[in-house]
Amino acid sequence: MSAPAPREVVVDIRDVRRIYETGDIVFEALRGVSVQIMRGEMVALMGPSGSGKTTLMQIIGLLDRPSSGTYVLGGRDVTTLTENERAAARNTDIGFVFQAFHLLPRLSLVENVEVPLTYAGVPPRERRERALHVLARVGLDSKARNLPSQISGGQKQRVAIARALAGSPTLLLADEPTGNLDTRTSEEVMAFFGELHREGTTVVLVTHEQDIGAYAERVVRVRDGVIESDTRQTPRMAAPLRVTG
């Protein structure tokens, strides 16, 4: 029997340091961090306030640059990209889901989902079809013409997930995605992330909540700017997502 094919590395960070300087004050937020994330993994990035996990998340999401070290995303070295190239890579390679949803209040749900596709130059008919498809995926196609003010917090997060998925990104990066949600709605959202993971989506979940980190198959803990531990676990299973609108 032949050996299984090796899993593809999506995120490959090697010896990354991030130093912030303010006047005479020098703060090293990351001190030689190395981590790999494979395609199809669901990884929880955890750590207390000031641990460096937010800085690491920002570097993974191309929102910040390392002071030294290398970062290869989907086989491409993104360490030395120009700002325009980084913006383009963020739009095509990374889907973002944030705690605050970041939906544009004057746009309908389908128009919100279309925003990254517009920046990517997708033609109008195709981007509308893709936006409606991912809204259906999260059970909100019937509310496509609604405004964000007309839906619940849990539904807003589902729209944010749909927007993140619309461009078929290499990596889905979720930063405290349940921070504004009640317990039941949090479970529903995490159930959906679990479904995406089982379908092969690569998910990096940034959280300080143990209950949320339990849904991941791997937990990377950051403390004092270094990787404190990197462990695998049996992920917690949530109740199925209710997609009735």
Per-residue burial over 198-217, b = 16 or more CB atoms within 10 Å of its CB, e = otherwise: eeebbbbbbbbeeebbbbbb
Whole-model pTM: value is 0.87
Give residue-wise pLDDT tens across range 183-223. 888 888 888 888 888 888 999 999 988 999 999 999 999 99
With residue 57 as reference, give the H or E element that holds it: helix 53-60
Q: How far is the C-alpha of 134 from the C-alpha of 115, rounded, in Å? A: 13
R_g of the chain computed on alpha carbons? 18
Beta strands in 24-116 (DSSP E): 25-38, 42-46, 68-73, 76-77, 94-98
- Residues near 168 by beta carbon (within 8 Å), at least 6 away in sequence: none
Task: Report the pLDDT value the prediction gives residue 4, as an integer from 0 to 100.
Answer: 47
Task: Report the pLDDT value the prediction gives residue 6, as an integer from 0 to 100.
Answer: 60
What angle, 0 to 180 degrees and rounded to 10, lies between the N-to-C axes of helices 124-137 and 153-165?
130
Neighbours of 129 (CB within 10 A): 11
pLDDT digit of tens for each residue in the chain (245 aa)?
554 456 799 999 999 999 999 888 899 999 999 999 999 999 999 998 889 999 999 999 999 999 999 999 999 999 989 999 999 999 889 999 988 889 999 999 999 999 999 988 899 999 999 999 999 988 899 999 999 999 998 899 999 999 999 988 989 999 988 888 888 888 888 888 888 888 889 999 999 889 999 999 999 999 999 999 999 999 987 655 555 45
